[in-house]
A = this chain, B = another copy of it.
Amino acid sequence: MAKTLDFYFDFSSPYGFLAATQVEALAARHDCDLVWRPYLLGAAFKTTGRQPLLNHPVVGDYARHDIARTARLLDIAWQMPDKFPIMTVAACRAYYWLKDIDVQQAVEFCKLTYQAYFAENRNITDKAVLAEIVASLGIDPEQLLEALGDATVKQYFRDQVERALDLGVFGSPYIIVDGEPFWGLDHFDQLEIWLERGGW
């Protein structure tokens, strides 16, 4: 039976964006099912008492350099958005609403949204931008705008965040497979070894 990779990320996370460009090929190499699970890293920071790397003196400069360098290595178009970090709750709600309609389109939505933010410097907190992305997938943007304010959609996403925190998720990207957590794009190599060997 195919294993499931649970891929947690925040739409405002540069390393999450880079990981999102790699994770499908990784899952395919190992015949794994992949579940995209956007959540709010900010909620995890409250629990862990941490802050975004980019907020820290010296470390932030390194991270900016490292993100750009990693993007170059992986041949990914990248620019630091003007507005950063941002609240990504609307994008997350949109994803979970779409997932209920069509999983594959919801995944496409994630990729397009990341692309819009980190490659095209578009403001993905803006519902009009999300509506445009959804429309490009052939889905009625009016339905999306309605869904974003829907109490059931809101509650569903709150539950998803709570579930992630209960599982100990605290980073972006953060992948769980076989109950084993792998934090960071940097840990994808260990994740691959894990999948190759079935653990160690």
Binding site for B on A (CB under 8 A): 44, 47-51, 56-59, 61-62, 65-66, 69-70, 72-73, 168, 170-171, 180-181, 183-184, 186-187, 189-190, 193, 200
Contact = CB atoms under 8 A, between A and B. Distances in A.
B73 A193 contact: yes
Given A56-B49, A57-B48, A181 B62 contact: yes
A180 B190 CA distance: 24
Contacts of A56: 48-50
A56 B56 CA distance: 16
Nearest to A66: B183
A32 to B, nearest CB: 19
A70 B190 contact: yes
Contacts of A181: 62, 65
A59 B56 CA distance: 17
A184 B186 contact: yes
Nearest to A60: B48
Contact of A59 (B58, B65, B170): B170
B186 A73 contact: no
